[in-house]
Amino acid sequence: MEHIVDLESDLDISNLSDRVYHHIKRLIMTGKLKGGQRIPEQAIAEKFGVSRTPIREALRRLEEHGLVVIEPRRSTRVANVTLEDKKHIGEVRLQLGILSVRLLAQRVTPVDCAALKDIAARCNECAESGDFASCFEADSLLHCEIAERSGNQYLSDLTRILDYKVQLLRNIEEVSQERLKEKIALHVPIVEAICRRDAPTAEKLMAKHLTDYYFRPDSPAHSLDKAASS
């Protein structure tokens, strides 16, 4: 997953708080910082040569996104994803996903189709090569892009906010390559249905895609439930 963290050098971010925000977020998204782990504020301050002010500003933004928990007069830690959170994430993501494909199928353009097909193909390629980090990135991007292109900005904003929690969940799951390939197998059919403006089929496929992942008995989330209770 190192390549994602290394992208920090490609960012053109002049605001110190923004740079710190993206740095800490990537540490969390790539699993360098796990749930419950303390944010190393002093080390980050030294890395960027900044005072604690921009760090605290960045941490407040991360807290708003649900990625960190600020403990007054103590340390700031990466947010934990609980067993109950997994169920709730799946319930909300299912509804947002179905609404996203329904709305987009009504207004989709050739430009939308080209972009979504490219992301879906990229996700398949990463799964085939075993590049889990890039596959997860592409998967999140596909869901966020469908919501963004639906024309409903509120839906897009909610989808992106929820995606932070999805990323936290992924960092504590153990998924085999075959399971990963199975998980993203419906991406292409979903996009094809959207591009045909076939909303009912797109909704049905999206529902299956997300239900299989979050609520199937042998899904990663359920496997974690079993491990936690053993």
Question: Distance between CA atoms of 205 and 95, rounded to whole angstroms?
Answer: 13
Q: What angle do CA 154, 209, 193 make, to 5 degrees?
A: 75
pLDDT above 50 for 227:
no
Contact (CB, 8 A) for 97 and 210: yes
> Looking at residues 203-225, what average pLDDT do you find?
75
Chain-centroid distance of CA 198 in Å reads: 26
User: Which residue segments constitute the domains of the chain, with CATH numbers given?
Assistant: 2-78 (1.10.10.10), 83-229 (1.20.120.530)
Q: What would the pLDDT profile of 110-164 be if each residue is shown by its tens digit? A: 999 999 999 999 999 999 998 887 888 899 999 999 999 999 999 999 999 999 8
> Looking at residues 210-227, what average pLDDT do you find?
63
Q: What would the pLDDT profile of 181-195 be if each residue is shown by its tens digit? A: 888 999 999 999 999
Q: What is the pLDDT of residue 89?
A: 93
Name the pTM for this structure: 0.75
